[in-house]
Amino acid sequence: MQRMLFALLIAFAAVLAMGPFVIPMLRRLNFGAVERNYGLESHNKKTGTPIMGGIMMMLSLGAVAVIFAPEATRWTLMLPVVLFTLGFSLIGFLDDFIKAVLKRSDGLSVWQKIVLQVALSLGAALFLYYSPFVGPVIYVPFTSVQWDLGWWYVPMAMFVIIATTNSLNLMDGVDGLLSSVTTVVMLTLGLIGLFTQSAGMDVEAASNMMVLCMATAGACMGFLRFNTYPARIFMGDTGSFALGGAYVMASLVLRQPLLILIMGVMYVLESLSDIIQIASYKIRHKRVFRMAPLHHHFELGGMPETRIVAMFTLVTAVMCVVALLSLTI
């Protein structure tokens, strides 16, 4: 328990301490956002706001997670998980670098992202499959069933990793939205780790992921100091992919990928809205939403950014309670 709390507090304090130095530095380097004109006039004023603020989160959660991990499994479990998390953050960093330095608003091409994500997710899936702390078994919510997927675990894990990291990336479009939602999700996942450990199941995995979840939540909370409306800095893909990597890796190590559909419901809806919008436009030449992903639909409807953040966070909190209840069945 103490490791969890220290990880949260120190990650929080680390991001707070870095902000006053990193933000001016990114401004001096002219690492500003280049907003694409999608019809959201309110976003035009965000052009020039520093991006790549996710560097602070990446450094904070990565270092704190490794430092406070249990000594016995620090190098065999926590370090690989953190490295895969930072690997996704590096993909985001490359994307941000192209946007900020080369002033190309599209960043990496779709195919470049796909190749990098598939390669990294394959490595992560194989690590989890062969890890003595994880393996191919997952828990089924609301039941006592432990589902052994065998070799099917590898493609399942790859799909979950890619889908989750991209879903979190899609949500990063409103000031404070992704950090607020992810804070609630990671705090809940940390409690799930605590429940798992208390029940005597997957003790080593739970002990490590509790620390990672709290470190990630603390980093998000610290970042909100600078990212709430009106944002002084954006996390960029550097941060959103790091958060996606931390969330999905912790979920898989805890053998709870199915809970992503419950506690991460807003991430799922963001992705579904994007898929539905694209499919509808290609097939019917009509839009279902005013704009996708979902948060932009509400924005174009006149809802203030702060209200969107509050609504998404509240729904997430309720669904996280449902996720916790699923463990007691």
Region 300-309 average pLDDT = 93
pLDDT at 41 over 70: no
What is the average pLDDT across 111-123?
Answer: 95
Average pLDDT of span 42-58 = 81
pTM (2 decimals)? 0.95
Low-confidence winner among 108-117, 164-173, 242-251, 307-316 (lowest mean pLDDT) = 108-117
Mean pLDDT, to the nearest integer, of 251-272?
97
- The 10 Å CB-count burial string (b at 16+, else e) for 305-318 is beebbeebbeebbe
- Please count the CA atoms within 13 angstroms of the CA of 246 that sit on its side-chain side: 40
What is the pLDDT confidence band of residue 203, given thresholds at 50, 70 and 90? Answer: very high
Tell me how far apart the alpha carbons of residues 40 and 190 are, in angstroms, rounded to a whole number: 36
* Per-residue confidence (pLDDT) for residue 92, from 0 to 100: 94
Q: Cα(131)–Cα(196) distance, rounded to whole angstroms?
A: 18
DSSP per-residue letters across 150-202: GGGHHHHHHHHHHHHHHHHHHHTTSTTHHHHHHHHHHHHHHHHHHHHHHTTSS
- What value does the mean pLDDT of the chain take? 92
Question: Quick one: average pLDDT of 251-265?
Answer: 97
pLDDT above 80: residue 37: no
Which is more confident, 309 or 46? 309
- What proportion of the chain, given as a percentage, has pLDDT over 70? 95
> CA 301 → CA 40, 194, 304, 308, distances in Å?
11, 41, 9, 11
* Rounded average pLDDT over 71-96: 95
Residue 217 has pLDDT above 90, yes or no: yes
At 28, the pLDDT band (50, 70, 90 cuts) reads: confident
Range 116-140 average pLDDT: 97
Could you tell me whether strands 146-148 and 137-139 are parallel, antiparallel, or unpaired per DSSP bridges?
antiparallel
Residue 301 has pLDDT above 80, yes or no: yes
Within 10 Å of residue 3's Cβ, how many Cβ atoms?
Answer: 17
- pLDDT at 50 (0 to 100): 87
pLDDT for 33? 63
Rounded mean pLDDT, 64-72:
96
Binned at pLDDT 50, 70 and 90, residue 55 comes out as very high
Whether the predicted pLDDT of 42 surpasses 70: no
Which SS3 state, helix, strand or coil, does residue 311 take? helix
Radius of gyration of the chain (CA): 19
CA–CA distance, 35 with 262 (Å, rounded to integer) = 32
| Residue 209 in tokens | 């992921």
CA distance 93 to 165: 14
SS3 call for 4: helix
Six-digit token string for 38: 């999608």
pLDDT at position 265 over 70: yes
Mean pLDDT of 248-269: 97
Pick the range with the lowest mean pLDDT from 124-128, 174-178, 217-221, 289-293: 289-293
Residue pair 100/51 in contact (Cβ under 8 Å)? The answer is yes
Name the residue with higher pLDDT: 300 or 41.
Answer: 300
Q: Is the pLDDT of residue 47 over 60?
A: yes
Q: How far apart are CA 119 and CA 136, in angstroms?
A: 19
pLDDT at 39: 55
